[in-house]
Structure 1
Amino acid sequence: MIYPYNGKTPTIDPTVYIADYATITGDVSIGAHSSIWFNTVIRGDVAPTIIGERVSIQDLSCLHQSPGKTLLIEDDVTVGHKALLHSCTIRKGALIGMGSIILDGAEIGEGAFIGAGSLVPPGKIIPPNCLALGSPAKVVRELNDEDRADMVRIVNSYVDKGQVYKEMQK
């Protein structure tokens, strides 16, 4: 369902796939070829949520903000199942593992990988091109070429899968 809130209506590129039972409300923008999966909630009711192109927000994820604190997700990002993102910044090409929590003011660097179930506390900066995991998340190593290739493959597979599902909705 897509709802306006307080005079703001989500802006969604026509190529975006939105699964049944996903909820998007308020000041939200979603770029081309992104996909929003089943039972995901994206609220832009206290600040903007900006989602770039070729981003997948997978099943049961929740995106929200604190008043006046934008949530920004740049292009080519994968957000795994049941992730919680709150007033944070996710840079281009990052991957957020399933069940991870990224809190206010945290920034995930370009091409970084946050391991499943990790907690990135408020204000924490995760550098580019590294693997961080744990609670609180800590950098454990740099990513290698194989890691980066897998992350690109995942982005592309969700773009393709989203378009297949979008065709099935017609």
Structure 2
Amino acid sequence: MTCYSLDGLTPVVHPSAYVHPSAVLIGDVIVGAHCYIGPLASLRGDFGRIVLEEGANLQDTCVMHGFPDSDTVVERNGHIGHGAVLHGCRIGADALVGMNAVVMDNARIAPRCFVSAAAFVKAGFECAEQSLVMGAPASVKRRLSDEELHWKQAGTREYQQLARRCLEQMQVCEPLAEPEANRPRISDSGLRPKNTGQ
């Protein structure tokens, strides 16, 4: 990872967290246990504090930033989809923010909520627990079912497993010129050769 101290504050990354080498962490950033931070994510703690609590994931090209004296927080087991922008907001425990969504300053997404892909959550927005939040500007559409919440939780567990896999196995390499014979496939939770029936 690319990591910069600023004004005497150095980012903190728990040893069990995985931060991709292309991610950038600046200043007042705290990454908790078993977190996953994907390629090209930017966590800019150059004004306010940036916090990912235990088990949270922040996927490719996400941005976390805030105004001075603000906290931008993803609580325990939060799940932030590719390209999302979080600015001075709080994402509750076990909540999901979809791909390319934007959540603005002082917004509070309650625990176990979903913010849909491409939603725009205005500054100061609040919602009840287990809500589906959609639109631009975003509003609460309905209560989430327990089945939907279980689907999200399974996905978050896959990212926690991915953090472990990356810490243990990911390494820089040169690409092959062509695929090898009987090339195995990667499943959601690890390398498993595909059954070819032979």
TM over 0.5: same fold?
Answer: yes
Give unpaired runs (5+ residues) of structure 2. Answer: 172-198
The CA deviation string for residues 38-74 of structure 1, in whole angstroms up to 9 with x for no partner, is 0000011111111100001000000000011111111
Q: CA deviation at 1:78?
A: 0.2
Give me the identity figure in percent. 31
Q: Which amino acid aligns with 1:124?
A: F
User: What is the alpha-carbon distance in structure 2 between the residues aligned to residue 88 and residue 130 of structure 1?
Assistant: 17
2:30 matched to which residue of 1?
Answer: 29
Task: Please report the TM-score for the alignment, with normalisation by the length of structure 1.
Answer: 0.97
What is the one-letter code of the residue matched to 1:52? E
2:128 aligned with 1:127: yes
Aligned to 1:63: 64
What is the aligned partner in structure 2 of residue 86 from structure 1? Answer: 87
Tell me what 2:192 maps to: none
RCO (CA 8 Å, sep 6+): is it higher in 1 or 2?
A: 1
Letter of the 1:61 counterpart: C
Deviation string, structure 1 residues 60-110 (Cα, Å, up to 9, x no partner): 000000011111111000000000000001110000000000000000001
Q: What is the CA RMSD across the aligned residues, in angstroms?
A: 0.9
* CA distance in 2 between partners of 1:30 and 1:20 (Å): 15
Match of residue 73 from structure 1: 74
| Amino acid in the other structure paired with 1:150 | W
Which whole-Å CA distance do the structure 1 matches of 2:60 and 2:13 have between them?
A: 18
Match of 2:190 in 1: none
Q: Which residue of 1 aligns with 2:44?
A: 43
Aligned partner of residue 49 in structure 1, secondary structure: strand
Q: Which residue of 2 aligns with 1:18?
A: 19
Instruction: Tell me how far apart the structure 2 counterparts of residues 2 and 31 of structure 1 sit (CA, whole Å).
Output: 16
Residue deviations 1:120-139, cap 9 Å, x none? 00001022101110001111
Q: Give how far 1:119 is off.
A: 0.4
Q: CA–CA distance in 2 between the matches of 1:50 and 1:22?
A: 15
Instruction: Name the stretch that deviates more: 160-169 or 111-120.
Output: 160-169
Separation (CA, whole Å) in 1 of partners of 2:56 and 2:67: 22
| Aligned position for 1:8 | 9
Instruction: Indicate the SS of the match to 1:146.
Output: helix
- Which residues of 2 match residues 123-162 of structure 1 at below 5 A? 123-162=124-163
